[in-house]
Amino acid sequence: MIALLILGCGYLIAGILFAASFIFSGVNKIDPHAANGSWGFRLFIFPGAVAFWPLLLRRWMKGAEHPPEEENAHRHSRV
């Protein structure tokens, strides 16, 4: 039980440290529309960056410049 608590705290601390740097420079690199985002926008995405930091870190390290295009049946249908 203690190990789970320690892992959870470690994940949270890593997420906070990542999100602090991500909202200043990382979000600009993976989404060009967010480059002109206000401080309110950056504050709004902070909790999500803390929670999903491994996914965002992977996209940031890949150098993805645009959000991925959604893949669903409607996009692939030929009407």
Q: Is residue 69 part of a domain?
A: no
Does the predicted TM-score (pTM) go above 0.85?
A: no
Its domain, for residue 54, covers 2-64
**79 pLDDT exceeds 60?**
no
CA atoms within 13 A on the CB side of 72: 2
DSSP string for 22-58: IIIIIHHHH-GGGGG--HHHHHHHHHHHHHTHHHHHH
Q: Is residue 78 part of a domain?
A: no
Q: Is residue 54 part of a domain?
A: yes
Q: Is residue 32 part of a domain?
A: yes
Task: Give per-residue pLDDT as tens, 46-65.
Answer: 999 999 999 999 988 987 76
The DSSP code for 66 is S
Helix 39-51 with 53-62: angle, nearest 10 deg: 110
- How far is Cα 37 from Cα 28, in angstroms, rounded to an integer? 9
Q: Is residue 71 part of a domain?
A: no
